[in-house]
């Protein structure tokens, strides 16, 4: 099979402007992946499936990832002007010092696809698509029209992570019920404490539900209570 660099070059030759990036995997597996720009993803996916040398006709897995905002500390050199007295004369001089600056790298959601070729007996080829952020720009193009195996897996990612796959033929929750709020696999997801659980061995859940019931009862005390 072609190397990841050769696959990147083949994509860029077939789909000019695709702007594919290689994300290195430093782990023992060395399974590097490609990062696709979402506006070119459908064309690139079609090429990966139909190219006679790659023939990536089997989508084995699609998974979601939640990358939260990250604070990054960087050391930068900053030049300040200071006034110094030299031989009794005040002079303005430039001094360069090293300072630590902090910046916030915005988070995003990610869909990761694993491809194989049943015809050529090779793989996996892994590629990723990333949303613009984690809040109001969470759309990615659905690849279900390219690989039908993506249908239920994209639904699962929509359900658990909140990625909206545009062009999906039947995008709706698959594990949680329709009225469920939020997305349980998000890193900042807060579990509710008001479920009506049957008595089980999950003591922590029962304790949380009982505490919620007590708090709720106190908040909605009947009129005249305590008078």
The residue ranges of DSSP E strands in 106-186, in sequence order, are 108-117, 122-130, 139-141, 164-166
**Do both 99 and 45 map to the same domain?**
no
Quick one: pLDDT at residue 183?
96
pLDDT confidence bin for 54, thresholds 50/70/90: very high
**Do both 52 and 123 map to the same domain?**
yes
Residue 9 lies in a domain: yes
pLDDT confidence bin for 222, thresholds 50/70/90: low
Quick one: pLDDT at residue 84?
77
In sequence order, which residues have a C-beta less than 8 Å from that of residue 154 and are 6 or more positions away? 62, 111, 142, 143, 144, 163, 165, 168, 171
**Do both 21 and 89 map to the same domain?**
no
**Do both 85 and 161 map to the same domain?**
no
**Do both 41 and 148 map to the same domain?**
yes
Rounded to an integer, the average pLDDT of 202-227 is: 70
Quick one: pLDDT at residue 227?
47
**Do both 93 and 11 map to the same domain?**
no
**Do both 99 and 38 map to the same domain?**
no
- Out of 166, 183, 200, a domain closes at 166
Model pTM? 0.79
Quick one: pLDDT at residue 220?
56
Residue 183 lies in a domain: no
Residue 162 lies in a domain: yes
Tell me: the pLDDT tens digits for 105-129? Answer: 899 999 999 999 999 999 999 999 9
Query: Which CATH number fits the domain that encloses residue 34?
Result: 3.30.460.80
**Do both 116 and 150 map to the same domain?**
yes
Residues, the chain:
227
**Do both 133 and 74 map to the same domain?**
no
Angle at 51 between CA 46 and CA 57, to 5 degrees: 65
**Do both 51 and 122 map to the same domain?**
yes
User: Pairing relation of β-strands 70-86 and 58-67?
Assistant: unpaired
In sequence order, which residues have a C-beta less than 8 Å from that of residue 193 and are 6 or more positions away? 208, 209, 211, 212
Rounded to an integer, the average pLDDT of 167-184 is: 94
What are the two backbone dihedrals, phi and then psi, of residue 163, each rounded to the nearest 5 degrees? Answer: -75, 130
Answer yes or no: are the C-beta atoms of 112 and 140 closer than 8 Å. no
Report the C-alpha gap between 28 and 13 in whole angstroms: 30
Total domains in the chain come to 3
Tell me: the pLDDT tens digits for 158-175? Answer: 999 999 999 999 999 999
Quick one: pLDDT at residue 79?
84
Q: Which of 25-34, 113-122, 215-224 has the highest mean pLDDT?
A: 113-122
Inform me whether the pLDDT recorded for 226 exceeds 50: no
**Domain range for residue 60?**
4-66+108-166
In sequence order, which residues have a C-beta less than 8 Å from that of residue 159 and are 6 or more positions away? 173, 174, 175, 176, 183
Answer yes or no: are the C-beta atoms of 33 and 128 closer than 8 Å. yes
């Amino acid at each position: 099979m072609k190397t990841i660099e050769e696959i990147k070059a083949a994509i860029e030759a077939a789909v000019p402007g695709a702007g594919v990036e290689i994300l290195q995997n430093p782990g023992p597996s060395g399974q590097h992946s490609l990062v696709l720009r979402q506006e070119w993803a459908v064309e690139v996916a079609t090429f990966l499936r139909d190219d006679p040398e790659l023939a990536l006709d089997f989508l084995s897995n699609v998974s979601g990832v939640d990358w939260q905002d990250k604070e990054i500390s960087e050391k930068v050199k900053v030049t300040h002007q200071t006034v110094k007295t030299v031989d009794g004369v005040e002079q303005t001089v430039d001094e360069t010092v090293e300072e630590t600056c902090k910046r916030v790298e915005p988070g995003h959601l990610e869909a990761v696809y694993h491809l194989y070729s049943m015809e050529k007996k090779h793989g996996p080829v892994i590629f990723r698509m990333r949303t613009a952020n984690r809040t109001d720009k969470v759309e990615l193009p659905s690849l279900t029209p390219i690989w039908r195996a993506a249908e239920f897996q994209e639904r699962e990612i929509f359900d658990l992570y909140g990625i909206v796959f545009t062009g999906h033929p039947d995008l709706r929750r698959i594990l949680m019920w329709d009225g469920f709020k939020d997305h349980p696999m998000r890193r900042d997801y807060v579990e509710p404490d008001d479920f009506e659980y049957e008595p089980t061995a999950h003591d922590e859940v029962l304790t949380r539900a009982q505490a919620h019931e007590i708090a709720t009862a106190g908040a909605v005390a009947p009129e005249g209570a305590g008078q």
